[in-house]
Homo-oligomer: A and B are copies of this chain.
Amino acid sequence: MEVKGLLKKLESLKYQGLYQKDFFLTWDKTQDEIKAVFEVADVLRYLRENNRSCRIFDSGLGISIFRDNSTRTRFSFVSACNMLGLAVQDLDEGKSQIAHGETVKETANMISFMADVLGIRDDMYIGKGHTYMADMASYLQEGYDDGVLEQRPTIVNLQCDIDHPTQSMSDALHIIHEFGGVENLKGKKIAMTWAYSPTYGKPLSVPQGIVGLLTRFGMDVVLAHPEGYEIMDDVIDVAKNNADQYGGKFTISNSMDDAFRDADIVYPKSWAPFKAMEVRTDLYAKGDRAGIDALEQKLLKQNAEHTDWACTEERMKLTRDGKALYMHCLPADITGLSCEMGEVDESVFDRYRVQLYKEASYKPYIIAAMMFLMKVKHPVEKLEELWNSNKPRWADN
């Protein structure tokens, strides 16, 4: 019964604060709650790999709301829902439907009569995505309190303007496994650095999510970017406070070389300047098409001044023993493959391909673990029961 051993760590954690709540930002959660998500993700994976059914729902719906295109996150959410027994229904929302708060309230209730989970991606506009999810949650709570909804659907943030918790948690779980345990992260240096991309306006939620989460494990977190590519101030504060509280370091640098030097992990990735994204949000709000186009040209030009911000073989040599773990949320802009000049050399990317795919493979489990802890009152007992029931996921006999 190896599962007993796997559950020991979970048993020692206080995670009841997750029950019946939403998952918006990792820094809203306690250290134990974050660790519980990792533990449950690992146990669910173990159960599935040993062909145990992980269904906790006989029927029920997971609603997906993607206010931006998505393939990877969509498939991860669908996989997580399916594993737990939920069918997925997509809300293909017309922009007009969300013109005013009242309609969001109405939609929240109308789609949720039999919904157990809502997975929402809304990362396009600064100041909007997180607010939309928080509003949705308060309307759902109100609907539940008023007796309109029989159950309180919980929300999983599948990427907002501030954080991308299912990504950063998957990335963290990947690192934990690569380094042999969360306790081994102490003192390890990770370089979350900007990298050049010929495209424009990539979301800030990935770098923000990474520095907001990895500073909790005593790591030496360096955020590096050219001047003008600053991320959100609030998240900088989160990262600083985390470093103080958990005995790590958080520094900001304008040199990619400095960030790479002796790094154990590098995460080079393009993003758009926070302030420019604020401007863009206002332009969209005003419907100023010409302004949007002008901004895009300006930002592409600005990007083009920093084509030397790339994860090259040369630069990889600066890292610890030249062998830092290379990470990316995918898809990456690969120099000479997907574009002329991009975020990473093809040979670097290729060397880490299997690890990159494994990094991505944690996401369905992280989402499922969040849902599990938000929906199941006694997770340890339930996981043990799933193991002991011996119900196969796949009748391969």
Interface residue tally for chain A (C-beta within 8 Å): 71
Contact B82 A78 (CB under 8 A): no
**Which of B57, B330, B392, B396 is close to A393, meaning CB atoms less than 8 Å apart?**
B57
A354 within 8 A of B: yes
A212 within 8 A of B: no
Using an 8 Å CB-CB cutoff, how does the interface string of A350-382 with B read, 1 for contact, 0 for none? 000010011011011000000000011110011
Give the Cβ gap from A299 to chain B, nearest Cβ, in Å: 21
- Copies of this chain, complex-wide, total 3
Give the Cβ gap from A275 to chain B, nearest Cβ, in Å: 30
The answer to whether A82 and B61 touch (CB under 8 A), given A109-B357, A378-B397, is: yes
Q: Which of A26-34, A48-56, A247-255 contacts B (4 or more CB under 8 A)?
A: A48-56
Q: With A and B bound together, what is the CA distance between A58 and B338 in angstroms? A: 39
Among A57, A60, A91, A110, residue most surrounded by chain B Cβ atoms (within 10 Å): A110
Q: With A and B bound together, what is the CA distance between A49 and B144 in angstroms? A: 13
Contacts of A75 in B (CB 8 A): 89, 91, 110-111, 113
Give the Cβ gap from A209 to chain B, nearest Cβ, in Å: 19
Chain A to chain B contacts (Cβ below 8 Å), 17 pairs: A55-B58, A58-B391, A58-B392, A60-B82, A61-B82, A71-B110, A71-B111, A75-B111, A75-B113, A78-B89, A113-B361, A143-B357, A146-B357, A147-B358, A375-B394, A375-B396, A377-B397
Q: Name A residues whose Cβ lies closer than 8 Å to a Cβ of B.
A: 48-49, 53-61, 71-72, 74-76, 78-79, 82-83, 85, 87-89, 91, 97, 99-100, 102-103, 106-107, 109-111, 113-114, 116, 143, 146-151, 330-331, 334, 337-338, 354, 357-358, 360-361, 363-364, 375-378, 381-382, 385, 391-397
